[in-house]
Amino acid sequence: KNQVEQSPQSLIILEGKNCTLQCNYTVSPFSNLRWYKQDTGRGPVSLTIMTFSENTKSNGRYTATLDADTKQSSLHITASQLSDSASYICVVSGMYSGGGADGLTFGKGTHLIIQP
Partner 1 sequence: DAGITQSPRHKVTETGTPVTLRCHQTENHRYMYWYRQDPGHGLRLIHYSYGVKDTDKGEVSDGYSVSRSKTEDFLLTLESATSSQTSVYFCAISPPGQGFNEQFFGPGTRLTVL
Q: Is 43 in the site for partner 1 (CB under 8 A)?
A: yes
Sign of CA dihedral 60, 66, 71, 77: negative
| Options 22, 24, 26, 31; binder of partner 1; rule CB under 8 A | 31
- Binding string, residues 46-85; x marks residues near partner 1 by CB under 8 A: x--x------------------------------------
Shortest distance (Å) from residue 42 CB to partner 1: 6
